[in-house]
Structure 1
Amino acid sequence: MGYEDMTDAQILEKLLNADEAPIPQRTVFIKRLGIPVVLQGISEKQLAALRNKYTYTIRGKRGGPDTKEFDSENFALALIAACAAKPNFKDEALLNKYKASGPEEVLKNIFLPGELDQLSNIVYELCGFDEGVEEIEEIKN
Structure 2
Amino acid sequence: MSEQQLTDQQILAELFETAATAPEESVFIKRLGLRVTLNGLTSSRVDSIRERCTSKKNVKGMQTEKLDNELFNSTLIQEATKGIEVIRNYGEQKEQRLVLKGWGDERITSQLKLSGGDQAVRRLLLAGELDAVGDKVLELSGFGVDIEEVKN
Listed one character per residue, the Cα deviations across residues 45-93 of structure 1 (whole Å, up to 9, x for unaligned) are 11111111112221334xx223222212211111011111112002222
Which structure has more strand as a fraction of its residues?
2
Answer yes or no: is 1:89 the counterpart of 2:103.
yes
Answer yes or no: is 1:76 the counterpart of 2:73.
yes
Answer yes or no: is 1:134 the counterpart of 2:131.
no
Corresponding residue of 1:100:
114
Query: Given that residues 37 and 82 in structure 2 are in contact (C-alpha distance below 8 angstroms), is that contact kept between their aligned partners in structure 1?
Result: yes
- Count of paired positions: 130
Tell me the secondary structure at the aligned position of residue 118 of structure 1.
helix
Q: C-alpha separation between the residues in 2 aligned to 1:66 and 1:134?
A: 35
Tell me the secondary structure at the aligned position of residue 107 of structure 2.
helix
Corresponding residue of 2:64:
67
Q: Which runs of 5+ in 2 are unaligned?
A: 1-7, 85-101
Q: CA deviation at 1:15?
A: 9.1
Corresponding residue of 1:48:
47
Which structure has more helix as a fraction of its residues?
1
Q: C-alpha separation between the residues in 2 aligned to 1:116 and 1:57?
A: 23
Which range is displaced more, 79-88 or 14-23? Answer: 14-23
Q: C-alpha separation between the residues in 1 aligned to 2:130 and 2:65?
A: 25
Q: C-alpha separation between the residues in 2 aligned to 1:68 and 1:119?
A: 24
Q: C-alpha separation between the residues in 2 aligned to 1:81 and 1:54?
A: 13
Q: C-alpha separation between the residues in 2 aligned to 1:34 and 1:75?
A: 24
Q: C-alpha separation between the residues in 1 aligned to 2:149 and 2:63?
A: 43
The sequence identity of aligned pairs, in percent, is 31
Q: C-alpha separation between the residues in 1 aligned to 2:131 and 2:69?
A: 12
Q: C-alpha separation between the residues in 2 aligned to 1:105 and 1:77?
A: 8
Q: Tell me the TM-score normalised to structure 1 length.
A: 0.75
Corresponding residue of 1:25:
24
Corresponding residue of 2:92:
none
- The code of the aligned residue for 1:31 comes to K
Q: CA deviation at 1:107?
A: 1.4
